């Protein structure tokens, strides 16, 4: 690929300067698969050039994780090293920034017992609960980006060999993240401004309810009285502006925990910890999933929703137009970071505290009283389609068409 190294360095600069907006004398933590070593090194160099005090790299290896899932005794999935949990929490407490590279093989754990994955994910979530609160409440700057791995690329582009598939996926990622623009950072700032205009409109309207309607979905979602829409970027507790997802095309808020009713069907596969769930429907009553079906990954979905009481309720509702850069590629990425930004989506599990007025400073009990869901999980699944209509209803009974045929109508 022509000028690949230059594009790679610009992509690293984007993640450091716009993604986490690294500050002078700040520590950066990078969570990275070993396959992403070249990009991780570029991130490290850019961070130091921007004034970072230290860069800490937390490497992970999916194949080693697979070996553990297939061979370790059951008790191995019920423990997590305290020193690792304490270390992550301490870094967050001291104001570190966090970049995570999402690049998992969607089929890696297809032969693993779903109960093992569910048990281990719950164990990790419990161990990292304090650390996770810093992220969910946006107390620290964090950002998720992605780079191709061969296994993932071959899943997306089944007709290409490994090298060709990786190059094709790089081309897609560079385009999606605006690396093809003359000044990617400027292009991103303009994009963030556009998302902010949507956020302001929705916050001004103070909708009480949203009605999602398509050929396969008929769902009403009530919103808490003090809800806030967000999108693009936000400020952490030190007033540093950061962008949590790169790419991002969504504006989002939280639903009232007990205010979701109807049926919704996914429109893209859902990759949960290396296991695919697809062609599934969820039926909600008073916020809770009371029935579900799934043609692929039924047990995985079942175990996910059994994680805790809040795992069968929604924590996020997000709007993404069908006519958007990722959607227009007509590519299923089998990676939530990309697929959720090509489609309206919902999330099972925990709500973002920042989607409630002053929610970042509230206790879990105070958030609960406001109608926010709490859970150890937060898992997005895609529901958008070219025939999706969304009607917003205000507390005065005024009805406004927000989406028509999959796109913004406002």
Q: Which domains does the chain have, with CATH numbers?
A: 4-176 (3.40.1830.10), 205-230+247-408 (no CATH)
DSSP H or E stretch at residue 69: helix 62-71
| pLDDT tens profile 218-248 | 999 999 999 999 999 999 999 999 999 999 9
Percent of the chain at pLDDT > 70 equals 100
For the chain, what's the residue count? Answer: 410
Q: Nearest to residue 268, comparing CAs of 216, 325, 197, 219? A: 216
Beta-carbon-side half-sphere exposure of residue 167 (alpha carbons within 13 Å)? 9
Helix, strand, coil shares, percent, the chain, to 5: 40, 25, 35
Q: What is the pLDDT of residue 70?
A: 97
| pLDDT tens profile 323-347 | 988 999 989 999 989 999 999 999 9
The pTM score is: 0.90
Kindly report the backbone phi and psi dihedral angles of residue 336, in degrees, each rounded to the nearest multiple of 5, phi listed first.
Answer: -60, -35
| pLDDT tens profile 137-173 | 999 999 999 999 999 999 999 999 999 999 999 999 9
Contact indicator for 253, 355 with CB cutoff of 8 Å: yes
| pLDDT tens profile 391-408 | 999 999 999 999 999 999
CA dihedral 269, 272, 277, 282 (to 10 degrees): -100
**163: Cα separation from own chain's centroid:** 27
ω before 114 within 30° of 0 (cis)? no
Contact indicator for 18, 188 with CB cutoff of 8 Å: yes
Distance CA 125, CA 42 (A): 30
Regarding beta strands 288-296 and 275-285, do their DSSP bridges make them parallel or antiparallel, or are they unpaired? antiparallel
Regarding beta strands 97-101 and 142-145, do their DSSP bridges make them parallel or antiparallel, or are they unpaired? parallel
Contact indicator for 195, 219 with CB cutoff of 8 Å: no
Regarding beta strands 378-382 and 270-272, do their DSSP bridges make them parallel or antiparallel, or are they unpaired? unpaired
Contact indicator for 236, 140 with CB cutoff of 8 Å: yes
- Token pair 């190294």 is found at 5
| pLDDT tens profile 56-69 | 999 999 999 999 99
Contact indicator for 145, 99 with CB cutoff of 8 Å: yes
Higher pLDDT, 91 or 360: 91
Lowest model confidence (mean pLDDT) among 50-64, 68-82, 181-195, 251-265: 181-195
Q: Nearest to residue 274, comparing CAs of 335, 340, 342, 341? A: 335
Q: Average pLDDT, whole number, for the chain?
A: 95
Bridge partner list, 261: 220
Question: Could you tell me the two tokens for 347?
Answer: 């999330």
Q: Is residue 1 pLDDT above 70, yes or no?
A: no
Lowest model confidence (mean pLDDT) among 23-27, 51-55, 176-180: 176-180
CA distances from residue 376 to 92, 118, 195, 212, 227 in whole angstroms, order as listed: 18, 11, 29, 26, 21
| pLDDT tens profile 175-213 | 999 999 989 999 999 999 999 999 999 999 999 999 999
Percent of the chain at pLDDT > 90 equals 95
Q: At what angle do helices 184-205 and 4-14 cross, to 10 degrees?
A: 40
**Sign of the C-alpha dihedral computed for residues 391, 379, 199 and 197 taken in this order:** negative
Contact residues for 318 (Cβ-Cβ < 8 A; gap 6+): 250, 251, 252, 340, 344, 345, 346, 347, 380
Higher pLDDT, 2 or 312: 312
């Amino acid at each position: 690929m022509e000028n690949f190294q230059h594009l790679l360095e610009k992509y690293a600069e984007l993640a450091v300067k716009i993604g986490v907006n690294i500050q002078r004398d700040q520590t950066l933590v990078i969570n990275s698969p070993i396959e992403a070593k070249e990009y991780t090194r570029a991130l490290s160099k850019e961070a130091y050039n921007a004034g970072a005090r230290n860069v800490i790299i937390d490497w992970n290896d999916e194949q080693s994780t697979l070996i553990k899932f297939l061979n370790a005794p059951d008790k191995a999935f019920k423990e997590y090293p305290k020193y690792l949990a304490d270390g992550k929490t301490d870094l967050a407490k001291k104001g570190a920034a966090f970049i995570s590279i999402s690049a998992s093989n969607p089929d890696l754990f297809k032969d693993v017992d779903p109960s093992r994955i569910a048990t281990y994910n719950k164990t990790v979530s419990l161990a990292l609960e304090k650390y996770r609160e810093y992220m969910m409440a946006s107390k620290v700057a964090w950002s998720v980006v992605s780079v191709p791995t061969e296994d993932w690329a071959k899943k997306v582009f089944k007709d290409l060999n490994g090298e060709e598939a990786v190059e094709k996926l790089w081309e897609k990622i560079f385009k999606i993240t605006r690396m093809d623009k003359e000044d990617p950072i400027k292009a991103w700032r303009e994009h963030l401004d556009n998302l902010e205009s949507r956020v302001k409109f929705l916050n001004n309207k103070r909708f009480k309810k949203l009605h999602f309607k398509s050929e396969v979905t008929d769902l009403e979602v009530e919103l808490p009285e003090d809800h806030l829409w967000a999108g693009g970027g936000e400020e952490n507790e030190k007033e540093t502006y950061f962008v949590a997802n790169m790419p991002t095309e969504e504006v989002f808020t939280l639903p009232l925990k007990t205010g979701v009713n109807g049926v919704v069907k996914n429109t893209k596969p859902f990759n949960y910890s290396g296991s695919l769930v697809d062609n599934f429907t969820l039926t909600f009553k008073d916020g809770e999933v009371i029935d579900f079906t799934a043609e692929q990954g039924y047990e995985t979905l079942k175990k996910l929703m059994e994680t805790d009481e809040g795992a069968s309720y929604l924590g996020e509702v997000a709007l993404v137009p069908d006519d958007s850069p990722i959607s227009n590629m007509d590519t299923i990425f089998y990676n939530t970071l990309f697929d959720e930004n090509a489609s309206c989506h919902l999330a099972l599990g925990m709500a973002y505290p920042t989607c409630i007025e002053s929610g970042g400073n509230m206790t879990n009990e105070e958030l609960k009283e406001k109608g926010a869901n709490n859970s150890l999980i937060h898992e997005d699944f895609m529901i958008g389609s070219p025939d999706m209509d969304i009607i917003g209803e205000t507390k005065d009974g005024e009805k406004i068409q927000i989406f028509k045929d999959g796109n913004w109508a406002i």
